[in-house]
């Protein structure tokens, strides 16, 4: 819980003892309670989890201002019971549905600057592969949003970088879950995610007279560029310039100035999943061409990229379907290291395409995917690893994360303690999965090989 959560819950519990205070003290406490609520609304925003405490404040104010008193014990008991129930219920809601904070984690070498860049690709229309699975229109120009994280020596703080956006990623997560798994979750359930706090700051100057290696991040099917922000902020704090790409149409939502583009379909709506990966690779290529060819009169990110990014040292990291995109990218362009998180590579086999690895690669699976699809005769991803990836004539190592599922490589686990035992993730705690991911990622990018002795959750699968 944050500062306002603790303060407002504290005021809620204080109202239990109002009968022991003088009328003047009660009014002072209620006035302070109101000022705290207003301050929270101004500096944080309206969260539905506070609705019960608002009701409590309103009822308590009526009782105090009307100078209502009673000697009947059952009425006093009901008032106290109501106060305790509303306060405890609010406390539970704030715990179960917290506002996530994405920080650089322990051992940060730098603070982290941030910029979101809109890229319009004049020579490219939106491909049919993405039109099939989204609300994109035919014959429209390809637009991409890219998050840029970079090291800085200037001080940074936690910021709500998504607060003013029209798109609420919590709402789109709920819509996606309802559509994909035929659930009926209320859309307001995760609306508070727009208040998520990121330990990044716009407008920071990059570290002077120093260039840093580049990392490209590609999300999975109906993922989003911010879903791995917890890992990307940590890596930027270790000395990497990071480009995280929203694959417009495939992403859960992309909040373009022209309107919100959202994913509407599953793999069954796509005529060719491997072709989707090719178009994702094209997104990466177009984004890198844009950043490498920025002119001096472009926007503020010019100085950041020109001064901080070493485009001769590029590594890639991807989750699920994004892994197919970075594999395709690194078949064409030189990559130093490749991190594949639960890679979805069977579409290469289904399409009869070559799956060639040209650079040092570390693969980490969820235990769910490592165990295979026990209820299906389809080719599993671990079979792809054993028969196609690991025999290749480059350095490739494989691991899995114990007690994890497919979404333990994105920040869903930070949303709510309830996700611990749902289909979203395995039973591993979010903090433990993030620790494994951060260790794994920084070790690979530093040119090393992860050691399974680091954590009981990190297990090698190489024979």
Distance CA 198, CA 204 (A): 14
Range with the lowest mean pLDDT among 97-101, 213-217, 325-329?
A: 97-101
pLDDT, position 318: 98
Mention every residue, 6+ apart, whose C-beta is less than 8 A from residue 34: 57
Query: pLDDT category, 360, cuts 50, 70, 90?
Result: very high
pTM for the whole thing?
Answer: 0.92
On the 0-12 / 13-18 / 19+ scale of CB atoms within 10 A, 368 is: buried
Residue with the bigger pLDDT between 296 and 401: it is 401
pLDDT, position 164: 58
pLDDT, position 43: 87
Is a pLDDT exceeding 90 seen at residue 70? Answer: no
Query: pLDDT category, 145, cuts 50, 70, 90?
Result: very high
> Which phi and psi angles does 214 have, rounded to 5°?
-100, 140
Q: 373-414 pLDDT, tens per residue?
A: 766 678 899 999 999 998 889 999 999 999 999 999 999 889
In percent, the amount of the chain with pLDDT more than 90 equals: 67
Distance CA 157, CA 361 (A): 34
Distance CA 296, CA 258 (A): 26
Is a pLDDT exceeding 80 seen at residue 266? Answer: no
Token pair, residue 142, equals 């390809």
């Amino acid at each position: 819980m944050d500062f306002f959560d603790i303060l407002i819950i504290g005021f809620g519990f204080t109202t239990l003892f109002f009968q022991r205070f003088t009328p003047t003290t009660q009014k002072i406490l209620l006035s302070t309670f109101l000022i705290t609520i207003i301050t929270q609304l101004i500096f944080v925003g309206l969260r539905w989890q506070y609705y019960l405490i608002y009701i409590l404040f309103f009822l308590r104010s009526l009782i105090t201002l009307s100078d209502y008193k009673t000697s009947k014990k059952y009425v006093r008991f009901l008032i106290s019971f109501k106060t305790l129930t509303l306060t405890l219920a609010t406390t539970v809601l704030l715990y179960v549905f917290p506002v996530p904070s994405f920080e650089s984690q322990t051992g940060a070498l730098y603070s982290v600057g941030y910029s979101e860049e809109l890229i319009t690709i004049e020579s490219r229309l939106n491909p049919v592969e993405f039109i099939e699975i989204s609300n994109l229109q035919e014959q429209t120009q390809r637009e991409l949003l890219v998050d840029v994280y970079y090291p800085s020596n200037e001080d940074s703080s936690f910021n709500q970088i998504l607060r003013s956006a029209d798109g609420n990623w919590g709402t789109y997560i709920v819509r996606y879950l309802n559509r994909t798994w035929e659930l009926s979750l209320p859309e307001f359930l995760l609306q508070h995610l727009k208040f998520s706090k990121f330990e990044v700051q716009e407008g920071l100057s990059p570290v002077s007279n120093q260039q840093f290696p580049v990392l490209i991040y590609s999300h999975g099917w109906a993922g989003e560029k911010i879903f791995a922000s917890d890992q990307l902020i940590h890596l930027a704090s270790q000395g990497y310039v990071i480009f995280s790409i929203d694959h417009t149409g495939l992403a859960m939502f992309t909040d373009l100035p022209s309107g919100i583009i959202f994913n509407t379909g599953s793999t069954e709506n796509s005529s060719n999943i491997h072709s989707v990966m090719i178009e994702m690779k094209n997104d990466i290529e177009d984004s890198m061409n844009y950043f490498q060819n920025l002119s001096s009169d472009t926007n503020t990110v010019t100085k950041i990229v020109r001064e901080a990014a070493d485009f001769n040292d590029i590594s890639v990291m991807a989750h699920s379907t994004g892994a197919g995109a970075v594999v395709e990218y690194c078949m064409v362009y030189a990559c130093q290291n490749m991190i594949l998180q639960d890679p979805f590579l069977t579409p290469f086999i289904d399409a009869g395409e070559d799956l060639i690895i040209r650079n040092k690669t570390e693969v980490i699976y969820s235990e769910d995917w490592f165990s295979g699809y026990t209820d299906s005769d389809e080719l599993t991803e671990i079979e792809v690893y054993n028969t196609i990836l690991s025999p290749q004539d480059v350095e490739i190592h494989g691991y899995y994360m114990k007690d994890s599922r497919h979404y333990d490589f994105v920040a869903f686990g930070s949303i709510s303690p309830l996700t611990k035992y749902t289909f979203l993730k395995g039973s591993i705690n979010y903090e433990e999965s993030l620790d494994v991911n951060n260790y794994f990622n920084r070790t690979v990018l530093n040119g090393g090989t992860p050691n399974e002795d680091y954590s009981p959750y990190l297990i090698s699968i190489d024979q």
